[in-house]
Structure 1
Amino acid sequence: MFSNTTTVEIQFGDCDPAGIVYYPNYFRFFDNATAAMLSAAFAMHKRNWLDHYAIAGIPMVDTGAKFIRPSSFGDTIEIRSEITELGRSSFGVKHTVVRDGETMIEAHEKRVWVVRGENGAIRSAPLPDDVRNLLGAA
């Protein structure tokens, strides 16, 4: 399955008063890492693939993380993201946060491919065949 690595430098504003990354910020990092992974797979920026595939987005319907070690201001981390499963209209993503070769966090997401219906409401839609091929590629 497709994978991609994103590098993040931890900024002062990412941290709590104890000087470690405030945990919700990791989920922001993961959202950006998923977008970067799909942009790499589709060879276009997110704003372009949203238009190209005429989708409303890829909302997250399940997520979780195991926090093993903290990161602090000035640290540089790698987020290794990979597709773990392809459903009819959903896909799974695994994120592994690594610093200096050491695993810091293991996280997962389940996202749904959604389009806007005639009434403007979002609804799931099947993953297009070319998306399946691109995400299933090694």
Structure 2
Amino acid sequence: MAYTTTIRVYYEDTDMAGVVYYANYLKFLERGRSDAVRDAGISQLDMRNAGLVFVVRRVEADYHRPARFDDVLTVETGLEDMRGARFTMPQRVLRGDDLILTARIDCAVMSMDGRVARLPAEIRHKLAELLL
């Protein structure tokens, strides 16, 4: 994986047992992807102003170990299988060397009116430069 983001688990992220609630991992993964895109020099606000947005088409996630309140997690984000309007971002969540979660996120580019749009060449290049 080419890009990492650090996240601390807050009380609001956990269930009554102090374990991260399963759906909250999706927020952690989103933060990892958003940080990677931003650090690649891609402004999602500029994209939106140009009439394009990234959307999630599919999520595959495997939970390996629980994360708990106050853990410091690392979200790793990569890039693979970039095609005309879509791409896949494999991600991992770790606590130190312990693997917490693995995921594959299929993303696409859409116009603001909900139509599939090609990934602009400049954005394709910036993503590949940072994440490959």
TM-score (norm 2): 0.90
Say whether the 8 Å CA contact 2:33–2:77 is kept in structure 1.
Answer: yes
Equivalent positions of 1:74-85 (< 5 A) are 74-85=70-81
Q: Which residue of 2 aligns with 1:47?
A: 45
* Aligned counterpart in structure 1 of residue 67 of structure 2, from 64, 71, 93: 71
The two structures, once aligned, show a CA RMSD in angstroms of 1.6
Q: In the aligned structure 1, how far is the partner of 2:44 from the partner of 2:55?
A: 14
Q: Which residue of 1 aligns with 2:123?
A: 131
Equivalent positions of 1:57-136 (< 5 A) are 57-116=53-112, 121-136=113-128
The residue type equivalent to 1:54 in the other structure is G
Q: In the aligned structure 2, how far is the partner of 1:6 from the partner of 1:46?
A: 18
Alpha-carbon spacing, 1:71–1:50, altered in 2? closer, same or farther (3 Å): same
Q: 5+ unaligned residues in a row in structure 2: which ranges?
A: none
Task: Quote how far apart the aligned CAs of 1:133 are.
Answer: 1.4
Q: In the aligned structure 2, how far is the partner of 1:112 from the partner of 1:44?
A: 15
Q: In the aligned structure 2, how far is the partner of 1:125 from the partner of 1:84?
A: 18
Aligned residues: 130
Say whether the 8 Å CA contact 2:72–2:95 is kept in structure 1.
Answer: yes
Task: Quote how far apart the aligned CAs of 1:44 are.
Answer: 4.9
The residue type equivalent to 1:15 in the other structure is T
Identity of aligned residues (%): 22
Q: Which runs of 4+ in 1 moved over 4 A?
A: none
Task: Quote how far apart the aligned CAs of 1:3 are.
Answer: 3.1
